[in-house]
Amino acid sequence: MSGEARAAPLIWLLTGDKGGDTAQLRVVARALGWSCVEKPLRFNNLYRLPNRLLGASLWSLSGAARALLVPPWPDLVLCAGRRATPAALWIRARSGGRTKLVNIGRPWGPVAAFDLVIATPQYGIPERANVLTVRLPFNRIDPDVVNRAAAAWQTRLEGLKPPWLVVLVGGRARPLRFDSTFGADLGNEIDALACELDACVLVITSRRTPVDAANALAAAISVPSLVHRWQAGDTSNAYAGFIGLAQRIVVTGDSASMLAEACHSGKPVSVAPVPLDNAWRERLPRVVLDHAPRGLIDRLHAGGWIVLPRDISAVWEPLVAEDHLHVLGEPIMPTSPPPDDLPVAVQRIRRLLG
C-alpha cells in the first residue's frame, strides 16, 4: 500500500458485568491507540452452562446483545471473563477465521482457541507460544481522578493528620479464608506499622468484605483512624482519594486488581497475605493437583477441560522477591514500583495484526 495510509483496524471490546475485566479491556484499547467499539453483553440463564458445551455460540446472550453483533466483523476482539468466550469464538467463526481473538485474564476455554492470552501467574496457565504472562493486571486509576478525589477527601479528614497509611481491604475469594480472625490479625499488624511510621490510618472496605472481618479489623486499630465501609451507591470515591493521599498502601492479598492499582500509583506497597481456607472442599482440589501428573494437568488445563484453583501468592511473591513489594509484618525495606508490562502486551497485539 505504498503512498496510501493504511486503514485502522476495527476493534470490538466485549464488555460484561465484571467491572475489573471491563477496566482492563479499556486500558489495553486506549494503549493500542486505535478507535474501538464496545459491545456490552447481557446474558440469559444459559451462561451457566460450561463453555465447552456452549462452544462458538450466542445461546447464552440476551436478544438485545445478539442484535449488537452484526457485520462488518472486526479485525480484533478483546475479551475477558468466562461469559464472553462463546461470543468471541462465534464472531471469529462468522468472520471466516479472519478476526483475531485476544483474551485478558483466565482463558475460559482452550488456550489454542485464542490468538493471544494475556494473564497473570495466579491462573497457572501452561507456557504456550500464544500465552503472555504479565506481572500484574492492567487495572489502574486515572491520575486526574486520583488527584481530584484526594483533594476532596483531604478537606474531610480534619483531625487525621498526615502521613496516612492507607489500607485497601478485599474479602472472600476461594480458596482463601477471610474471617474475623484474619481481620483482627490484620488490624494488629496495621496498628504496629502505623506506630512505626507515626501515621494515621485510612481504611476502605469493599463489596466483598465480610462485616465480622471489618469489625474485627477496626477494633484492633488503636491509632487515629478512619474506616470507610463500602455501601451501594457511594459516590464519595474514597478508594481513589485514599490512594492519592497515602504515604504507604497496604493491600490484602486476595485481589490482584487491587494490588495492581496500588502498585501503579507509584507509592510504596505492602501486601497482607490471606491464609488458605482449610475446609475440606478447599483442601481437596489442592491435594489432587499435588499428586496428579503435571503433564496431564497442563494438557487438561490448556484444553479448557479443567480450571485450576487461583493462586494469588503466585502474583505477589515474585514482586516481593524483586523488591517491588513489602510483606506486612516483616521489617520495612526499600521498594520500587514494578515494571509496567502494558507496552509489551500492546506490542504483541499489534504484531497479530501485522
User: Are 80 and 176 in the same domain?
Assistant: no
Domain annotation covers residue 260: yes
Question: What is the side-by-side strand order in the sheet with 131-133?
Answer: 36-40, 11-15, 76-79, 100-104, 116-119, 131-133
User: Are 131 and 147 in the same domain?
Assistant: no
Question: Is residue 165 within 8 Å of residue 262, measured between CB atoms?
Answer: no
Domain annotation covers residue 184: yes
pLDDT tens column, 228-253: 999 998 999 999 999 999 999 999 99
Domain annotation covers residue 94: yes
Residue 4: the pLDDT is 42
pLDDT tens column, 282-306: 666 766 777 778 788 888 777 888 8
The whole-model pTM stands at 0.90
**CA distances in angstroms from 274 to 180, 224, 321, listed in the order given:** 12, 25, 18
Helices (H), the chain: 19-32, 51-54, 63-68, 85-94, 143-154, 180-197, 211-220, 238-245, 256-263, 280-291, 294-302, 313-321, 342-352
Q: Which is more confidently placed, 166 or 4? A: 166
User: Are 165 and 115 in the same domain?
Assistant: no
User: Are 193 and 119 in the same domain?
Assistant: no
Domain annotation covers residue 301: no
Question: Is residue 274 within 8 Å of residue 259, measured between CB atoms?
Answer: no
The whole domain housing 161 covers: 143-274+313-327
Question: Is residue 247 within 8 Å of residue 199, measured between CB atoms?
Answer: yes
* Distance of alpha carbon 37 from alpha carbon 29, whole angstroms: 10
Residue 6: the pLDDT is 58
Residue 68 backbone dihedrals phi, psi, to 5 degrees: -80, -20
Domain annotation covers residue 207: yes
Grid coordinates in use for 268? 510504596
* Distance of alpha carbon 139 from alpha carbon 213, whole angstroms: 25
Query: What's the structural domain count of the chain?
Result: 2
CA atoms within 13 A on the CB side of 298: 6
Is the predicted pLDDT of residue 337 greater than 70, yes or no?
yes
Nearest to 87 by CA among 51, 115, 111, 130: 51
Residue 266's SS3 state is: coil
User: Are 172 and 125 in the same domain?
Assistant: no
Grid coordinates in use for 153? 477527601
The total of other beta-carbon atoms located within 10 Å of residue 133's CB is 14
**CA distances in angstroms from 149 to 43, 144, 251, listed in the order given:** 34, 9, 19
Q: Which residues contact 210 (CB under 8 A, 6 or more apart)?
A: 171, 172, 178, 179, 180, 183
Domain annotation covers residue 334: no
Average pLDDT over residues 271-276: 95
User: Are 78 and 177 in the same domain?
Assistant: no
User: Are 108 and 189 in the same domain?
Assistant: no
pLDDT tens column, 186-230: 999 999 999 999 999 999 999 999 999 999 999 999 999 999 999
* Distance of alpha carbon 174 from alpha carbon 169, whole angstroms: 16
Domain annotation covers residue 217: yes
Domain annotation covers residue 2: no
User: Are 173 and 245 in the same domain?
Assistant: yes
User: Are 16 and 108 in the same domain?
Assistant: yes
* Rg of the chain over all Cα atoms, to the nearest angstrom: 22
Nearest to 229 by CA among 245, 241, 218, 244: 218
pLDDT tens column, 40-70: 999 999 999 999 999 999 999 999 999 999 9
CATH code for position 64: 3.40.50.2000
In this structure, which amino acid lies at residue 173?
A
User: Are 236 and 112 in the same domain?
Assistant: no
Q: Which residues contact 187 (CB under 8 A, 6 or more apart)?
A: 216, 217, 218, 219, 220, 221
In this structure, which amino acid lies at residue 267?
K
User: Are 121 and 185 in the same domain?
Assistant: no
The total of other beta-carbon atoms located within 10 Å of residue 284's CB is 11
Does an H or E element contain 104, and which?
strand 100-104
Question: Is residue 171 within 8 Å of residue 211, measured between CB atoms?
Answer: no
User: Are 173 and 41 in the same domain?
Assistant: no
* Distance of alpha carbon 85 from alpha carbon 74, whole angstroms: 16
